[in-house]
Amino acid sequence: MQSKEPGTSRAAAVLVSAPMEDEVEDVELLPANEATLLITERAAEKLQSISTAENDPNLALRIIVESGGCHGYQYKLELTSTHEVDDYHFVHPKHQPAAILVDAVSLGLLKGSTVDFATELIGSHFRILDNPQSKGSGCGCGVSWEANF
């Protein structure tokens, strides 16, 4: 998928590993063909840059969906070197290390979304775009969103 904005071309993230059913309780795991994320070149390059600067090849962007906000759900994005047993581990097909970790519950609410990196006047940050599991555009502040059940 292409965009006119530089760095926003998207690639399907490669699923490196997924949780095993015997290791995770009380969570319905997605089949590998449904465990999908897209990542922009800009996000992959930034993840690669941070990993190199920190001299940590295991550094990854963890994406968590939490309940909260005025529309029901919000994203929490953080850098980590810790993999959990319920993590789906994705990498960019060309830019490595550029890893993303998503827990099994969150991936059900994120599958098909795009991970991007934005630089704006107020700062720069990783963000989630075009979440097909989200209903509408979310709240006015842009922080929370409603699931499309």
**Every domain of the chain and the residues it spans:** 10-147
Q: Is the dihedral of CA 13, 19, 21, 25 positive or negative?
A: negative
Q: How far is CA 4 from CA 27, 109, 120, 127, in A?
A: 39, 27, 17, 18
Specify the pLDDT at position 3.
45
C-alpha torsion angle, residues 49, 7, 147, 66 (rounded to 10)? 20
Backbone φ, ψ for residue 101 (5° rounding): -115, 130
- Measure the CA–CA gap between 104 and 18, rounded to whole angstroms: 9
Question: What pTM does this model have?
Answer: 0.88
CATH 1.20.1530.20 fits 10-147, yes or no: no
Q: How far is CA 122 from CA 6, 16, 55, 118, in A?
A: 19, 34, 27, 10
pLDDT per residue as tens, the chain (149 positions)? 444 555 579 999 999 999 998 888 888 899 999 999 999 999 999 999 999 999 999 999 999 999 876 668 889 999 999 999 999 999 999 988 889 999 999 999 999 999 999 998 888 999 999 998 887 655 555 566 577 76
- Measure the CA–CA gap between 149 and 146, rounded to whole angstroms: 9
Helix (H), strand (E) at residue 108: helix 104-110
Residues 144 and 71: beta-carbon distance below 8 Å: yes
